[in-house]
C-alpha cells in the first residue's frame, strides 16, 4: 500500500518525468526547478523503498519497477484529476444575463422564477428590464423583445403573439356594459404611447365609422396602462395573453368581445455567436414556459 504521507506533487512529478525522461523538461512543465523535481522524486522513491529512475549524466531512464509503477499509477492520476475537475465545475458559479420589457418581467418571467435556484444553484441570473422598444439592448446574453417584424430564425425563438382587448375595472364595467360602443364616448380611452393609433385601429376593425373618443390618455409603460384601467381612469387596450392574471384576479374585465389582432410577437433573442451551456439552459427554460 502507498504510504499515506506520499506527496501528490511527487506522484505528479514522477508521471511527467516518466513521460519526458528529463527532470529539466519536467521542471519547465510544472513551473518548478530541476532540483525541486529531483527532490520530489527522491522522496517518492524513499517512501516506496524502490528505485524508479536510473540517473545518468545527461538523461534518466525508468527502471523496470518504475515502468510498472508508471503504468499502474497513470490511470489513477487521470481519474483523480477528472474527479477534482468535475467537483470544481459543479461548484463554479456561472452568470447568465437577460433583458426584457418591464411588463413581461412582472407578469410572466418573475412569477415563474420560483424554483430556479433549486434547479440551477450554480447559475446566477442577471435580469435587466427596459421600458420601451427603443431601449432594447444587446448587452446581455439573451433578450426578450416585442416586435412587429420577424426576427432572424438562426438567433431567435418565437414565443407568442399579442392581441389587445378593451377592458376596465369592475365598477366601470357595471356602469358601461349595457351601453355598447357608445361607452367609448363617455370615458377616457387609455393606450400605450408606442401604439398611438391602436384605438382607431380597433374601431376600424369592428366597423365603427367616424370614431371620435372623448379623450385619449397615452402612458409610457404597459403596467401604467393596466394600473390606470384598474383604478377606473377609463377603458384601456390590454394585451393578451400576457395580462391574463389581471382578468383572472378580477382586476380587469373585458368590456367587448372584439379584440385587435396585431403583428406584435414576443421573441427570445440569443446575442451569442457561441452559446455557453448555462445560456442554453436558460433558453430551454424560457421556451418551455413561454412558447404559447
Q: Cell triple for residue 68?
A: 510498472
**Residue 18 and residue 78: Cα distance in Å, rounded?**
15
Selection from 265, 285, 289 nearest residue 141 by Cα: 285
Average pLDDT over residues 56-76: 94
Please determine, for residue 14, whether its predicted confidence score (pLDDT) is greater than 70.
yes
Beta bridge partners of 154: none
How does the average pLDDT of the chain come out, rounded? 92
Is 200 or 91 the better-scoring residue by pLDDT? 200
Please determine, for residue 274, whether its predicted confidence score (pLDDT) is greater than 60.
yes
**Residue 188 and residue 214: Cα distance in Å, rounded?**
6
| pLDDT for the residue numbered 84 | 80
| pLDDT for the residue numbered 18 | 96
Res. 69 pLDDT band, cuts 50 70 90: very high
Average pLDDT over residues 250-267: 96
* CATH topology identical between 8-91 and 94-292: no
Cβ-based neighbour number of residue 159 at 10 Å? 20
| pLDDT for the residue numbered 163 | 96
**Residue 165 and residue 257: Cα distance in Å, rounded?**
8
| pLDDT for the residue numbered 92 | 79
Residues ≥6 apart with Cβ < 8 Å to 119? none
Please determine, for residue 250, whether its predicted confidence score (pLDDT) is greater than 90.
yes
| pLDDT for the residue numbered 11 | 95
Please determine, for residue 4, whether its predicted confidence score (pLDDT) is greater than 70.
no
Residue spans per domain, the chain:
8-91, 94-292
Q: Cell triple for residue 147?
A: 416586435
Please, what CATH class does the domain formed by 94-292 belong to? alpha beta
In CATH terms, the fold of domain 8-91 is: Arc Repressor Mutant, subunit A (1.10.10)
Amino acid at each position: 500500500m502507498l504510504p499515506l504521507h506520499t506527496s501528490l506533487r511527487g506522484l505528479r512529478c514522477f508521471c511527467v518525468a516518466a513521460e519526458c525522461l528529463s527532470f529539466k523538461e519536467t521542471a519547465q512543465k510544472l513551473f518548478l526547478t530541476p532540483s525541486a523535481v529531483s527532490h520530489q522524486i527522491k522522496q517518492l522513491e524513499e517512501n516506496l523503498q524502490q528505485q524508479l529512475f536510473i540517473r545518468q549524466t545527461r538523461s534518466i531512464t525508468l527502471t523496470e519497477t518504475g515502468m510498472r509503477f508508471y503504468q499502474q499509477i497513470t490511470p489513477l492520476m487521470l481519474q483523480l484529476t477528472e474527479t477534482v475537475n468535475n467537483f470544481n465545475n459543479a461548484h463554479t458559479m456561472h452568470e447568465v444575463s437577460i433583458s426584457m420589457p418591464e411588463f413581461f418581467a412582472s407578469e410572466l418571467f418573475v412569477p415563474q422564477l420560483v424554483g430556479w435556484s433549486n434547479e440551477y444553484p450554480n447559475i446566477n441570473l442577471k435580469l435587466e428590464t427596459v421600458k420601451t422598444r427603443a431601449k432594447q439592448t444587446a448587452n446581455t446574453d439573451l433578450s426578450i423583445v416585442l416586435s412587429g417584424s420577424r426576427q432572424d430564425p438562426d438567433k431567435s425563438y418565437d414565443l407568442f403573439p399579442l392581441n389587445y382587448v378593451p377592458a376596465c375595472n369592475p365598477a366601470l364595467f357595471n356602469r358601461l356594459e349595457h351601453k355598447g360602443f357608445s361607452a367609448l364616448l363617455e370615458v377616457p380611452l387609455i393606450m400605450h404611447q408606442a401604439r398611438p393609433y391602436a384605438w382607431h385601429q380597433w374601431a376600424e376593425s369592428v366597423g365603427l365609422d367616424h370614431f371620435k373618443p372623448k379623450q385619449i390618455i397615452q402612458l409610457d409603460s404597459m403596467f401604467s396602462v393596466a394600473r390606470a384601467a384598474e383604478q377606473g381612469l377609463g377603458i384601456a387596450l390590454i394585451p393578451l395573453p400576457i395580462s391574463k392574471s389581471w382578468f383572472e384576479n378580477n382586476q380587469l374585465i373585458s368590456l367587448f368581445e372584439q379584440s385587435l389582432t396585431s403583428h406584435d410577437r414576443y421573441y427570445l433573442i440569443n446575442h451569442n455567436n457561441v452559446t455557453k451551456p448555462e445560456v442554453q439552459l436558460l433558453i430551454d427554460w424560457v421556451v418551455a414556459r413561454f412558447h404559447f
